[in-house]
Structure 1
Amino acid sequence: MLLALLVLFSTVSFTVEKHYCGDILVDVSVFTDAEKCPMEHLEILQKKTCCKHEIDVVLGQNELKFSSFEDLVFSQQFFFTTFTYTFGDFFKSLPKKIIPHKDYSPPNLIADIQVLDQVFII
């Protein structure tokens, strides 16, 4: 399961968008567009900008190597089959134990005989 998660996270690509107003970081976004600062609309009219938009792309792995059992050398195939055949028996479940007194309910306790007769084990 750990290897499957490792393959999944190594192949996922994503972008990190950062929007700055001057030197101040306004918004950081991973999967959606970064929110722009309200001053940017005024800067478009004045045709000068102090806002900066950075996009960092984290690329995942594109090429995965798929290999089959036939690609292995004979000694590796022999070891793998022997290993799975030998250690496959360790993971079989144990037989269910039969508990004969599972549904037995003890009789109701009317009086504690040891206290009534004043007989105690010391």
Structure 2
Amino acid sequence: MDIQREREAFERLPLAELAIKSEYVYYNEETNSYWPNEDFCPSDAPETMNFAWKAWQAAKAQAVPEWIDYTKQSPRIDGRYQIFISGEQITADWQSPFGFSDPVEGEALIQGLISHWGMLPEPPKPQEPTND
């Protein structure tokens, strides 16, 4: 995730944009968080901005896989990954030194057709039953 690009997109949200333009808060690169402008800041502005910023980053990290160019780097750990092969996104198994294979049939995929790979997203966590 390109943090600068994501921060710029986050700051275009109406409430974030208002807080920035009103100079209630400013972004601190070292801490990757928003700090209050001591001269003029509502008390909850930094806390609200940081809560929203952390939620934005978490959602982006889950929703958008980071794609790695397969011609430059292959996975280092055997396992299941997302890949782009012939312009289609599928799930495949990686086994070093053999490459990617079909996870159901176990057949080797044509490695030259694979352009990118990425980690699979975290599986959903089961919900606990409610006591209604």
Give the TM-score normalised by structure 1.
Answer: 0.20
Structure with the bigger RCO (C-alpha within 8 Å, sep 6+) is 1
Higher percent of residues as helix? 1
When normalised by structure 2's length, the TM-score is 0.19
